[in-house]
Amino acid sequence: MRAQGMQYGNTADFATEYIRRHEALIAPNTRDAELGMVIQRARGTRLWDSTGKEYIDFDGSVAVAGIGHKHPRVAEAIAQLFDPALDTIDFVEATGRHYCFDITLAGKRIEVSEAALAETLIPCVFNGAVNDFCVIPTITGKLAVDGATALTLKMRPEKTHYIAFEKAFHGRLGFAGEYTRSKPIQKKDYPNSGITVHHLPFPQTEEDLKRGLELLNYIPLDRVNAVIYETVQGEGGINKVSFPRMQALLSALTAGARERILVIADEIQSGLGRTGKWFAFQHGPIEPDIVLVGKSLGGGLPVSAIVFKKDMFFAHSVRGILERGWFSGTFPGYPLGSAAALAVLGVIKEEKLVERAEEMGTKLATALGHFDGNTSNGALCRQKGLGLMQGLEFRKHDSIPDPKRRNTVLMALKNAKPLGILTLGAGIDALNPTIRFLPPLTVSREEIGYLETTLAWALTKN
C-alpha cells in the first residue's frame, strides 16, 4: 500500500516511494529504477512525471504512440464500446463467436469487426485484390512473429530451418526469441523452441553480403522455410538494410534451395507510416510474403496482425491447411482492439501522417546530421535511419564504441530544462551504441528544433 500521507504527484519523494513499492512487488523487467521517474500523464507528443515536469516523447513509447498519446479518435472509439447506453460490445471471447457492430467516429458510421479491420489494413500493406490476402489478428509483436512461424510450419512442416540476421530483435521467448540476436539477456537460459535458426550478417555493406553468401555454404538450404528480417533494425541500432544486397542474398538462397523460400518482413516497429511509407519494405523492390504489424496499430492498446499472401499456399486453399483452432487465444481479434486499430488507420489516412512522417523525417535526419562526425567533448557521432526512425551512434576518436558517452547524453536529454527529452538506447554496447529516435508521427518542426538545440548542449556534458 502507499505510505500514509503520500500524495500522488508534485513530489520527488512520491517517485522514490513508488519505485520502492514496485521493486518489492514486481519481478524484474525492463523498467529502470535508476531513472528515478514515474510518468503520470500523457497527451500528443508530451509526457509528465510525478513532479509535474514535462517531456517530449522522442521514442514514442517505443513506437507505440505513432499517432500520439491519447488521440481523441481512439478515445472516442474505446468509449463507445463501454457506453451502457449504446448497442456495442465490450468483449466477446474468440473461441467460437463472431462479432460485428457499428460505432460513430467523427460523425461517420464505422463497422467494427475483424473482417472490417482486414479490409482496411490489407490495402495499406499490399497492392492487389483484398481477397488475395489474409489476416491473422493477434495482440503483441512477439505473438505475431510466433504466429507467422507457425503459419510457415503448417504449410511446410518438413522445413524447420530459418534465416534471421545479426543484431535482429523479434521478441523474447519462443520462436521470436530464436530469431533475436541483439543482447545476451534476451537469449540467456532459454531452451531451443524446436526450429533451427541461422543468423547471417545484416546486409548493409559489400563485406556483409560477402560473408552472408559464404555462410550459406554451411546451411541445408533445401530445409529452409523462411527468411525473417527488419527493413530497419530498431533494437539492433537503427540499421537500414541495403535493398540490392538483401535481394542478392535472397536470390542466392532461392537458387540454393531450388524452390521458393518465404520472406517475412517484421514491420512491427517500422510500419504504419513511420519511415515515410506505410511500411518500410515499400521503399525497395522486395515484396514479402508475410508482413508483421504491431505497436502503433492499437493506438496504445495491444493489437498486432499477420498479413500474408494466399498464394504462398501454392495449390492448397488456406482453409484446407489452417484448420479451425490452429491459432487462437482469449484476446486476439478482440472488439476493443479492432475498434482502436480502425480508428488509428483512419487517423493516419485522414491526417496524412505517412506524408507528414516523410517530411518530418527529413527534418529530423537533417537535425541529427548536424552532429555527424561531431567531436564535442570526445564524442564521435554518426547519424543513420529512415524517416522518423532515426539513430545517433557514438564512438571514440579511434572508432571504439562509446556506450558511456551515449548513456551520458541520454540522461542529459532527460534532465534538460525547460522540457526534458525522452529517448531510448539501442544497439549493442560493444559494437554500435546508439540513441534511438522514434517520435510520434505528429511531432512538430519546433519540437525537432528543440531536440537539435538540446542535443548540442547534451553533447558537452561529461
Q: Where are the domains of the chain?
A: 37-67+354-458, 74-350
Amino acid (1-letter code) at residue 346: G
Residue by residue, pLDDT tens for the chain (462 residues) are 454 444 555 567 899 999 999 999 999 888 887 888 999 999 999 999 999 999 999 999 999 999 999 999 999 999 999 999 988 888 877 667 899 999 999 999 999 999 999 999 999 999 999 999 999 999 999 999 999 999 999 999 999 999 999 999 999 999 999 999 987 777 777 778 889 999 999 999 999 999 999 999 999 999 999 999 999 999 999 999 999 999 999 999 999 999 899 999 999 999 999 999 999 999 999 999 999 999 999 999 999 999 999 988 766 777 778 888 889 899 999 999 999 999 999 999 999 999 999 999 999 999 999 998 876 666 789 999 999 999 999 998 878 999 999 999 999 999 999 999 999 999 999 999 999 999 999 999 999 999 999 999 999 886
pLDDT value at position 284?
98
pLDDT value at position 94?
67
Are 193 and 177 in contact by the 8 Å Cβ rule? The answer is yes
For residues 354 and 87, what is the distance between their CA atoms, to the nearest angstrom? 34
* DSSP-derived 3-state class of residue 133: strand
Query: Does 84 sit behind a cis peptide bond, omega within 30 degrees of 0 on the bond before it?
Result: no
pLDDT value at position 5?
43
For residues 153 and 284, what is the distance between their CA atoms, to the nearest angstrom? 27
Are 138 and 305 in contact by the 8 Å Cβ rule? The answer is yes
For residues 23 and 12, what is the distance between their CA atoms, to the nearest angstrom? 17
pLDDT value at position 11?
66
314-323 own/partner pairs: CB under 8 Å, 24+ apart: 316/155, 318/134, 321/154, 321/155, 322/151, 322/154
pLDDT value at position 377?
67
What DSSP letter does each residue of 298-358 carry, written as one string?
GBTB--EEEEEEGGGGTTS-HHHHS-TTSS--SSTT-HHHHHHHHHHHHHHHHTTHHHHHH
pLDDT value at position 352?
99
247 C-beta neighbours (distance < 10 Å), count: 15
* DSSP-derived 3-state class of residue 455: helix
- Residue 137, CA distances (Å) to 261, 311, 370 in order: 24, 19, 42
- Residue 382, CA distances (Å) to 241, 255, 266, 387, 410 in order: 16, 36, 25, 16, 15
| Consecutive H or E run containing 196 | strand 196-200
Q: How, if at all, do strands 54-57 and 420-422 pair? A: parallel
Q: Tell me the backbone φ, ψ of residue 420, rounded to 5 degrees.
A: -75, 160
- Domain 37-67+354-458: homologous superfamily in CATH: Aspartate Aminotransferase, domain 1 (3.90.1150.10)
358 C-beta neighbours (distance < 10 Å), count: 18
Q: Tell me the pLDDT tens digit for each residue of 275-294.
A: 999 999 999 999 999 999 99
CATH architecture group of domain 74-350: 3-Layer(aba) Sandwich (3.40)
Positive or negative: CA dihedral 358, 164, 238, 120: positive
Are 268 and 294 in contact by the 8 Å Cβ rule? The answer is yes
Q: Tell me the pLDDT tens digit for each residue of 133-176.
A: 999 999 999 999 999 999 999 999 999 999 999 999 999 999 99
Q: How, if at all, do strands 434-437 and 389-395 pair? A: antiparallel
